[in-house]
Amino acid sequence: MSDHTCDGVGFLFLRTFSCGCILFFFREKLGCTRLFGNGGVFLFTGLIRTIILYLVIIVGIRLMGKRQVGELEPSELVMSLIIADLAAVPMQDYGIPLLTGVVPILALLSLTMMLSVLTMRSLRFRTLMCGRPSIIIRKGRLEIEEMRRNRLTVDELLEDLRVKGYADPSLIYYAILETNGQLSVLPKTAVKPPVNRDLGHKVPDSELPIVIISDGRVLDNNLQILGHDRVWLDKQLKGRSPTSLFLMLADSAGVVYEAQKEGIS
């Protein structure tokens, strides 16, 4: 979704919300009491409940520290699905108290947090909760018993290998089925692309590029981290305004990447 679409949606939302507020608070003076039910305001109830539940879930998930579904352990993935279901019930049924959704969600998040901390602290608990990675291909040899134990079919294994770019299992030295269900692959040395070390090339390590300009805004903290200042930035911009750039990345050596905003030459 582009910035313009987001702005448009945001403006529409604010306008609708403002109109709704005016209608609700001045409904008697405006003579539109029939718009709202006796003792209740269905549209408003749904809107406010959705916002509250959404914020509760977002805050909870952020506190858990996971950002991608792919990184979740199975128990955490199940928890996420249950939370989504729990949140939907009071969002849709206004006869149910909001606490019916909030309390179970908070309880689930608390339990998950506790299990997550215990998993980090105790190796045994981690094995109990998450299991162990399984070596499916060991030194080029298929471990059929491990495949059976993990209920991994040949078709699934070949599919995962193809997704990783290896259509031929004989090219694989190790294939490990991780606890999150992903397959990690270590190819045989003979089929690995050579790296600088193999070719005897000594190449200095590259620095981590840091964002200097994001969507037209200069990030002064990041400039300081790189040991640069606005004077340096002005030299790099060569007369251009920072607001004309969508993205600028730099490292200690200099600017690495620039992207202009659309519609600006």
Partner 1 sequence: MTRFWIALSLLIAMLGACLANSMYLDDLTCSITSQLSAAEEMAERGAWDQAIAITEQCLADWNSHHAYLHIISRHSDTDEILISFRCVLQSLKLNEMDEYAAENLELITKLRLLAEIEQPDLLNVL
Determine phi and psi for 29, rounding to 5 degrees: -65, -35
Distance CA 36, CA 42 (A): 7
Q: Which residues bind partner 1 (CB under 8 A)?
A: 63, 94-99, 103, 106-107, 109-111, 113-114, 116-118, 121
What is the enclosing helix (H) or strand (E) of 143?
none
Question: Whose Cβ is closer to partner 1: residue 111's or residue 144's?
Answer: 111
Closest CA to 259 of 213, 224, 217, 226: 213
Q: Which residue has the tokens 């990041």?
A: 222
Q: Are 218 and 241 in contact (CB under 8 A)?
A: no
Enumerate residues 6+ apart whose C-beta is below 8 A from 208: 251
CB of 178 to partner 1, least distance (A): 25
Question: Whose Cβ is closer to partner 1: residue 56's or residue 212's?
Answer: 56
Question: Whose Cβ is closer to partner 1: residue 99's or residue 259's?
Answer: 99
Length of the chain equals: 265
CB of 118 to partner 1, least distance (A): 7
CB of 54 to partner 1, least distance (A): 19
Question: Whose Cβ is closer to partner 1: residue 114's or residue 128's?
Answer: 114
Number of H helices, E strands in the chain: 11, 8
Give the full edge-to-edge strand order of the sheet including 217-218: 217-218, 210-214, 245-250, 255-260
Give the full edge-to-edge strand order of the sheet including 134-138: 141-142, 134-138, 172-177, 183-187
CB of 17 to partner 1, least distance (A): 24
Determine phi and psi for 40, rounding to 5 degrees: -160, 160
CA atoms within 13 A on the CB side of 39: 2
CB of 97 to partner 1, least distance (A): 6
CB of 193 to partner 1, least distance (A): 42
Question: Whose Cβ is closer to partner 1: residue 99's or residue 186's?
Answer: 99
Q: Are 164 and 183 in contact (CB under 8 A)?
A: yes
Question: Whose Cβ is closer to partner 1: residue 100's or residue 252's?
Answer: 100
CB of 102 to partner 1, least distance (A): 10
Distance CA 166, CA 149 (A): 23
Question: Whose Cβ is closer to partner 1: residue 77's or residue 106's?
Answer: 106
